[in-house]
Structure 1
Amino acid sequence: MLELFYSPFGEFEFMQRAVVGVIAIALGGGPIGVFLMLRRMSLTGDAMAHAILPGAAIGYLFAGLSLPALTVGGLFAGVIVAVAAGLVSRFTSLKEDASLAAFYLLSLALGVTIVSLRGSNVDLLHVLFGTVLALDDNALLLLASISTVTFLALAVLYRPLVLECVDPTFLRSVSRAGTPTHLIFLGLVVLNLVGGFHALGTLLAVGMMMLPAAAARFWSSDITMMMILSVLIGIVSGISGLLLSFHAELPAGPAIILSAGIVYVGSLILGREGGLLWLAWPGKHLEA
């Protein structure tokens, strides 16, 4: 029985690389997903995941499936869309969520069109759904670097990020760190989405950020514990998804996100912090 869990990673190098990749994505994406959820920016993460597609597609148009070209293009496009959506919401009557939705729809259509101009359907699937089973040394180094940068940045920005989640008005009244913290946080979101893009594609990268974070919320109300749980859930979901894809011959990226979704549904039902069973279970009444 244990061979079903061990043998794929012991015998095949591409599975070993995939495990390292999903662990790196979970380490960086889990904590970012927690702050996106607490700041009510979950859909912002989804919009920005689609926003990196045109930049990656332009990089693909000039250099093919080149890691540096796709990375730089995706980062450039993500930053442009984030800044543009913020400017539109600031200087017009359109809210930020609506402007992000408009930009992400345009980005998705433009990116798919650009890839289709030169590439095949296989290339389009590569861009949209990633190739977690084909990660090379450079891709793993990129993912590890993004996780390291994310951890260091969150360690520095932890207090203002938590304050902004709890009481942004108080943070603005006592410090000018609110705006720089927000901008750096958006940069970390784009950075982790670009890293996840190489393994899971633009359509699924945000899943490894939001599903573990949402599942962790049903088990703890402490922010630090939620971050730890989100990382653990992301790692477990990644490994179980890879095993599912190997034994059931399913696409690896969707299998990983499905595994994270199963953990989320289980947490929704069983979680101690607002899970359905705990809400339905009659509590003890106060006794005099």
Structure 2
Amino acid sequence: MNLADLPLIGPFAEFDFMARALAGCIALSFSAAPVGVFLLLRRMSLTGDAMAHAVLPGAALGYLVAGLSLGAMTVGGIAAGLTVAAASGLAARNSVLREDASLAAFYLLSLALGVLIVSVRGNSVDLLHVLFGTVLALDSATLTLLGGIAVVTLLALRLLWRPLLLECYDPQFLRSVSRLSPLAHYGFLVLMVLNLVAGFHALGTLMAVGLMVLPAATARLWTRRLLPLLVLAVALALLASTGGLLVSYQFDTPTSPTIVLALGLAYLFSLMAAPQGALRHQRPSATHYRA
């Protein structure tokens, strides 16, 4: 039997652009989903969304200088994301604003600036490319970048495993017993920005955070243990991105939103059916906490 005749395999076997899109989604699933798990544990999921928009002006400036250049847009996006993270932290430490408020202010400024740059110097096609990505047009250089970021992310998470866990559950204890606290904190921010830039190239700035946050949130409804949580988040990202690509191919829908909607449907189903979901999860009564 010819693989091209199989409905679930045929599009990937027959069309090179579908195979490249699948390879890009696999790389993103193995890098962004684990980062999303730690975002969830650190209660920073909305921070991920803010940072996804914060990379836009840097990518837009890269586009302004060199056009749709992978290197220029990557370097610009990373620089913009790290700048917004550092600026919001400085504003929070030197003013009455909390970090979430300062981050919201800076990311809104970044988003508006990025859209303005692309709109003024580009056209509607360029703007759609930046906002929603071109996962069906990934080339070899972009796939190499996504694969490299996935490898760096997995190696960094392995090296920072213990300090990251401690910072998730008791950051003050980590600061008191180890000098690795700043490394864990800022190293994780760098990983987050790298993965958001990778997601930006494939899914666009509006959809990039979906493959990071939704698999982690869905997996958390099914398990409390960390290793199964990581594995399940990656598996959900793989299944939803593959399903989203197939649905987009069959029904000619925008690919990035279709992938994120597939992740959203998995989340809504889990919210109803999972052990920690809305219907089955029983909150402890007040007497449970009494001595």
1:232, 1:18 → 2: CA distance?
A: 17
2:169, 2:209 → 1: CA distance?
A: 23
Amino acid across the alignment from 2:202: A
SS in structure 2 of the partner of residue 239 of structure 1: helix
Deviation per residue, 1:179-203 (Å, 9 max, x gap): 1210000000000000000000011
Gaps of 5+ in 2: 283-291
SS in structure 1 of the partner of residue 127 of structure 2: helix
1:148 matched to which residue of 2?
151
Q: How does 1:220-259 map to 2 (within 5 A)?
A: 220-259=223-262
- TM-superposed CA distance for 1:251, in Å, is 0.5
1:181 and 2:184 aligned: yes
SS in structure 2 of the partner of residue 40 of structure 1: coil
1:74 matched to which residue of 2?
77
1:279, 1:56 → 2: CA distance?
A: 43
1:27 and 2:30 aligned: yes
- TM-superposed CA distance for 1:4, in Å, is 2.1
1:40, 1:6 → 2: CA distance?
A: 38
2:288 matched to which residue of 1?
none
Gaps of 5+ in 1: 281-288
2:194, 2:227 → 1: CA distance?
A: 21
Amino acid across the alignment from 1:158: W
SS in structure 2 of the partner of residue 165 of structure 1: helix
- TM-superposed CA distance for 1:66, in Å, is 0.6
- TM-superposed CA distance for 1:279, in Å, is 2.6
- TM-superposed CA distance for 1:244, in Å, is 0.7
1:139, 1:243 → 2: CA distance?
A: 21
1:277 matched to which residue of 2?
279
SS in structure 2 of the partner of residue 203 of structure 1: coil
Amino acid across the alignment from 1:141: T
2:225, 2:164 → 1: CA distance?
A: 14
Structure 1 vs Structure 2 CA RMSD: 1.2
Structure 1 residue ranges, 4+ long, deviating more than 6 angstroms after superposition = none
1:7 and 2:10 aligned: yes
1:132 matched to which residue of 2?
135
Q: How does 1:96-175 map to 2 (within 5 A)?
A: 96-175=99-178
- TM-superposed CA distance for 1:3, in Å, is 2.4
1:215 and 2:225 aligned: no
TM-score by length of 2: 0.94
1:185, 1:169 → 2: CA distance?
A: 17
Which stretch shows the higher mean deviation, 161-170 or 56-65? 161-170
Amino acid across the alignment from 1:34: V
- TM-superposed CA distance for 1:89, in Å, is 0.6
Which stretch shows the higher mean deviation, 260-269 or 49-58? 260-269
1:95 matched to which residue of 2?
98
1:182, 1:243 → 2: CA distance?
A: 38
Deviation per residue, 1:44-74 (Å, 9 max, x gap): 1011100000000000011111100110000
Alignment coverage as a number of residue pairs: 279
SS in structure 1 of the partner of residue 96 of structure 2: coil
TM-score by length of 1: 0.95
SS in structure 2 of the partner of residue 277 of structure 1: coil
1:29, 1:43 → 2: CA distance?
A: 15
2:202 matched to which residue of 1?
199
- TM-superposed CA distance for 1:277, in Å, is 3.0
1:263 matched to which residue of 2?
266
1:194, 1:277 → 2: CA distance?
A: 36
2:75, 2:246 → 1: CA distance?
A: 32
1:194, 1:167 → 2: CA distance?
A: 29
- TM-superposed CA distance for 1:212, in Å, is 0.2
